[in-house]
Amino acid sequence: MSIVGVRERTGTTLPVLVAALSLVYAIAGLAWLLGAGGYAFGPVPPDGERLSLLAQVPKEVGAGLIAVLGILGVPAAIGHTRTEWSASAYRPLLVFTALQVVVFGLLAPSVTVVILAGYLLVLVGLPAGIVWLVVGAWRQPATRVLLLAVAVVVVAVELTTGLFDWAAFRDVAGGIAGVPAKVGTTPLFVSGAFLLGCGWALLGVRGLRSARGRCLRCGRPGASWTRPESARRWGFWATIVAVLCPMPYALLRMTWLLPNPIGFDADELNAEPGIKLFGLGLGLIALASGIVTLGLIRPWGEVWPRWIPFVAGRPVPIKAAVIPGAVAATLLLVSSASLIGLLWSPDAATAENILFLLILPFPLWGASVGLATAAYYYRRRGQCTACREPQLT
């Protein structure tokens, strides 16, 4: 569809935030270009592993690109707040926005963003989720028996493996404490680039909707495949794929509880109780992500189950599922792009790399989560509060 008409107002909060973050990267890019240390998008020592696609070019080129895009990004982001642009005048801004998305959203970030998200989920999300579910389960007589059964399993695991010994928690705490000294500010700049790329992507979507005469909030009128019945059909299969993708990794981690874990030496794992405990935490997160994703096509994804405290029986807000799903899909897809850098070598097609992609199929996983989340949104959304356009069946 051709871009016609005059743009509507997109709001100022997001453009201002994008402009501010662009200024930060403009300053950082200039500093790196002038010889400052701490360049965040180069090869990672000690073996020079190229996690970011931007690491495929020399530091001077990467730093210069970041500086130029950061400087030009400030007025460009503010330009998204204007309403008097004609369609022809606005088209170059959309092209520049797409360039920003490619550089900051795909080339600069790396699999580091998923690693950070996984660590935060294990350290914060997993304990909070366990407490939340225990409180909710204990409130319901029907789930108390299940809760007691889980407690028995945990005790059995501790007695047979010593997984929850104090030494394991001490090792985990010591490892976390030593992370800042090892990685420096690189994770901050990589995560910031990811956020900046997402911000530019949102501005681009809003701009396209406005220029094409569609609602900025919901994008309607949309294509026929966005109607609920159509989304229900293709969303079902996307959700099934998204549920299955993390299962190989989760099951692999669960074998760490066995006397002969798959792909690992039992004695080495037992000698590193902190790594063993943290790895099993990552496995539980992967398993939980598959179960939660299944809610996108199940009734308990629309109405909170009885064992969820404080909100049991209430409708699940669409944003409660769509926002985490969209974030997860974006993280996985961005990491998929950085995998190109990891496999960019003559021996890339080794058995180890192929096995890695089978265990963690980031490209398929990210795409399926994104489609499943979109189908859930299209299926459940009602009348738009901005354009008053009703949902069509």
Given a cut of 70, whether residue 161 has pLDDT beyond it is yes
C-alpha 194/C-alpha 201 separation (Å) is 11
Start-to-end Cα distance in the chain: 24
**What's the mean pLDDT in 2-13?**
53
Residue 266 lies in a domain: yes
Please enumerate in sequence order all residues whose Cβ is within 8 A of that of 188, keeping only pairs 6 or more positions apart, or say none. Answer: 40
What is the radius of gyration, based on Cα positions, of the chain?
Answer: 23
Pairwise pLDDT comparison (64 vs 309), residue with the higher score: 64
Q: Are both 303 and 207 inside the same structural domain?
A: no
Q: Are both 285 and 144 inside the same structural domain?
A: yes
Given a cut of 60, whether residue 184 has pLDDT beyond it is yes
Q: Are both 22 and 80 inside the same structural domain?
A: yes
For residues 293 and 280, the answer to whether their CB atoms sit within 8 Å is no
Residue 4 lies in a domain: no
pLDDT category, 87, cuts 50, 70, 90? low
Residue 315 lies in a domain: yes
Residue 240 lies in a domain: yes
Q: Are both 170 and 95 inside the same structural domain?
A: no
Tell me the angle at which helices 112-120 and 318-342 cross, rounded to the nearest 10 degrees.
Answer: 140
Pairwise pLDDT comparison (366 vs 160), residue with the higher score: 366
pLDDT of residue 2: 40
**Mean pLDDT over each residue of the chain, to the nearest integer:** 83
pLDDT of residue 352: 64
Tell me if the bond preceding 221 is cis, omega within 30° of 0.
Answer: yes
**What's the mean pLDDT in 247-274?**
85
pLDDT of residue 7: 46
Give this prediction's pTM.
0.83
* pLDDT tens track for 167-176: 788 888 887 7
Q: Are both 272 and 287 inside the same structural domain?
A: yes
Pairwise pLDDT comparison (242 vs 146), residue with the higher score: 242
Structural tokens at position 326: 């969209």
pLDDT of residue 375: 95
Q: Are both 203 and 345 inside the same structural domain?
A: no
Residue 75 lies in a domain: yes
Q: Are both 17 and 100 inside the same structural domain?
A: yes
Q: Are both 356 and 328 inside the same structural domain?
A: yes
Given a cut of 90, whether residue 317 has pLDDT beyond it is yes
Helix segments in the chain, DSSP class H: 13-33, 59-79, 87-100, 112-120, 126-138, 141-161, 166-177, 179-183, 186-211, 228-244, 247-254, 266-271, 273-294, 318-342, 351-359, 362-380
Give just the sign of the alpha carbon dihedral 342, 343, 348, 349. Answer: positive
Widest Cα–Cα separation across the chain:
71
Residue 193 lies in a domain: yes
Q: Are both 205 and 274 inside the same structural domain?
A: no
pLDDT of residue 371: 96
pLDDT category, 388, cuts 50, 70, 90? low
The domain total for the chain is 2
Specify the residue for token string 């453009």: 15
Residue 325 lies in a domain: yes
C-alpha 111/C-alpha 331 separation (Å) is 8
pLDDT category, 385, cuts 50, 70, 90? low
DSSP, collapsed to helix, strand or coil, labels residue 49 as strand
Residue 120 lies in a domain: yes
Domain of 146, in residue numbers: 113-181+222-380
**What's the mean pLDDT in 5-18?**
70
Q: Are both 190 and 90 inside the same structural domain?
A: yes
Q: Are both 101 and 122 inside the same structural domain?
A: no
* pLDDT tens track for 28-54: 999 999 988 889 888 776 555 667 888
Q: Are both 146 and 190 inside the same structural domain?
A: no
C-alpha 43/C-alpha 55 separation (Å) is 6
pLDDT of residue 4: 41
Phi-psi region of 343 (alpha: psi -120 to 50; beta: other; left: phi over 0): alpha
